[in-house]
C-alpha cells in the first residue's frame, strides 16, 4: 500500500480505539506486574542487601512512582503510534513490542535469577531498541516519540547503576 493510499483509510472506530488502548495498557501493566513480583521477593533478600551499591542509587521508595509514570508514557506512546496511519507504524510497533519484552526480562534476570551481569546485557540491548523505536515513532507521531524520552533517560541511568553493581560485586 502506498503512502497516498494510507491517507485515505478511515480511522478506527471508538470501540477499536478503546480496545487498542486497553491492550497497550494491559501489556505494560503485565510487564510491570512481572517486574514487581520479581523485585518484591528479592529486594528484601540477603543476596540483594549484601550487594555493594553506589551512593547514587535511589531509595527503594522512588522506584514504584517512577515506573508507574514511565509505564503510562510507554503505553500511551504505543497507542498513539498504533492510532497513526503512517507507513512506519508496523515497524514502530514491532520495536515497541521488542523494547517491552526486553524491559520485562530485566527484573526476573537481575532479581529472580540473581544475574546482574546478564541483566546488564539486557539493558545494553534495550537502549538501542528504545532509541530506534523513538526515532521511528517520530515519523508516525512526534508526541509518541517524545513520550519515550524520560524512559530512555531512566533506562540509561539504570544501565550505569547496573554496571556499577556488577563492577563493585564481581557478579
pLDDT digits (tens, 9 = 90+) for 153-163: 999 999 999 99
C-alpha–C-alpha distance, residues 101 and 115, integer Å: 18
Pick 3-169's CATH classification: 3.30.930.10, 1.10.3720.10, 3.40.50.300, 1.20.1260.100. Answer: 1.20.1260.100
- pLDDT on residue 140: 97
The domains of the chain are located at 3-169
Cα–Cα nearest to 6, from 80, 78, 91, 88: 88
Cα–Cα nearest to 72, from 34, 24, 38, 15: 24
**Residue carrying the nine cell digits 512481572:** 34
C-alpha–C-alpha distance, residues 152 and 171, integer Å: 25
Helix axes 63-83, 116-140, angle to 10 degrees: 40
- pLDDT on residue 7: 45
Q: Which tens digits make up the pLDDT trace of 80-136?
A: 999 999 999 999 999 999 999 999 999 999 999 999 999 999 999 999 999 999 999
Mean pLDDT over each residue of the chain, to the nearest integer:
93
The CA-atom distances, in angstroms, between 26 and each of 21, 30, 72 are: 8, 6, 11
Amino acid at each position: 500500500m502506498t503512502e497516498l493510499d494510507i491517507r485515505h483509510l478511515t480511522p478506527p472506530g471508538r470501540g477499536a480505539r478503546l480496545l487498542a488502548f486497553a491492550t497497550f495498557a494491559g501489556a505494560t501493566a503485565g510487564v510491570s506486574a512481572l517486574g514487581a513480583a520479581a523485585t518484591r521477593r528479592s529486594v528484601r533478600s540477603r543476596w540483594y542487601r549484601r550487594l555493594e551499591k553506589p551512593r547514587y542509587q535511589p531509595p527503594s521508595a522512588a522506584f514504584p512512582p517512577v515506573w508507574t509514570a514511565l509505564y503510562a508514557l510507554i503505553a500511551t506512546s504505543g497507542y498513539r503510534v498504533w492510532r497513526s496511519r503512517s507507513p512506519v507504524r508496523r515497524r514502530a510497533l514491532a520495536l515497541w513490542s521488542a523494547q517491552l519484552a526486553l524491559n520485562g526480562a530485566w527484573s526476573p534476570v537481575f532479581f529472580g535469577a540473581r544475574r546482574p551481569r546478564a541483566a546488564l546485557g539486557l539493558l545494553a540491548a534495550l537502549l538501542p531498541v528504545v532509541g530506534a523505536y523513538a526515532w521511528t515513532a517520530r515519523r508516525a507521531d512526534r508526541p509518541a516519540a517524545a513520550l519515550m524520552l524520560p524512559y530512555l533517560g531512566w533506562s540509561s541511568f539504570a544501565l550505569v547503576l547496573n554496571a556499577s553493581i556488577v563492577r563493585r560485586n564481581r557478579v
